[in-house]
Amino acid sequence: MDTLHARGFNGCGVQEIAAAAGVPKGSVYNHFESKEALGVAALDRYFAERTRQRLEVLQDRSLSPLMRLLRYFEGLREGLEARGFACGCMIGNLSAELSDQSEQMRERLAVHFAEWTRTLESCVGEAQRAGEIRADIPAGMAASFLLNAWEGAILRARVERSAAPFEAFRSVVFTVLRG
C-alpha cells in the first residue's frame, strides 16, 4: 500500500511492491489475479485504515458539528504537513491516474467517495440544523463540494510544498459557509 501510495500505480512495478512487502513476486500472483486487483485491494485498505478511521472525529458529540468539521480537516492537514506534503491522498492520486484506465478502480473510487461524502453530509446537516452553517445549500452538495475542494487543495499543497492552500481552504470555506 505504501509503495503504491508513494510511487503511483504506474510508477512502480509488482516486483517493487513485492520487495517492499518482503515477499517473492510470484506470491503476489497467488493472491491477486492482476496488478489492477492488487491496486484495488490496496485502495480498499487505505480507505478502511486511513480515511474511515479519521472520520471518527465527526461523531465526537463533545464538539459542535462545525467544530468537528474544522477538526477533521485540521487533522488531515497535520498529517500531510508532517510528511512534508509528500504522497498526498492515495484516493485523489488514483482518481487522477486511473479513472480512464481501470474501470474496476474507478468503480471502487466512486464507492469510497460516496461513503466519505455521506459521512461529511451528516455532519454538515447537523451544523445546518444548529445554525452553524448556512442552510440554503443542500447538505449533500456542500459535503461533496468540501471533499472535492479539499482534494484540490492537496494537489496544490504538494506542488507548492506549502500549507497555504489548506489555509485558503479553511478561511474561504468557513468564512463563506457561515454565511
Residues that bind a copy of itself in the complex, under the rule CB under 8 A: 6-8, 10-11, 85-88, 92-93, 95-97, 99-101, 106, 109-110, 113, 134, 136-137, 141-142, 144-145, 147-153, 155-156, 158-161, 164-165, 167-169, 171-173, 175-177, 179
Report how far residue 96's alpha carbon sits from residue 105's, in angstroms, rounded to the nearest whole number. 11
Taking each helix axis from N to C end, the angle separating 103-129 and 65-82, rounded to the nearest 10 degrees, works out to: 140
Instruction: Give min distance, CB of 169 to a copy of itself, in A.
Output: 6
Residue 131 buriedness (CB in 10 A; 0-12 / 13-18 / 19+): exposed
Closest to a copy of itself by CB, 33 or 136: 136
What lies within 8 Å, CB to CB, of 9 at 6+ separation is 35, 39, 94, 97, 98, 105
Closer of 31 and 74 to a copy of itself (Cβ): 74
With respect to a copy of itself, which residue has the nearer C-beta, 18 or 146?
A: 146
State the minimum distance, in angstroms, from the CB of residue 2 to a copy of itself. Answer: 13
Q: Is 125 or 165 the residue whose CB approaches a copy of itself more closely?
A: 165
Please state the closest distance from residue 103 (CB atom) to a copy of itself, in A. Answer: 10
CB of 26 to a copy of itself, least distance (A): 24
Angstrom distance (rounded) from CA 136 to CA 177: 10
How many C-beta atoms surround the C-beta of residue 90 within 10 A?
22
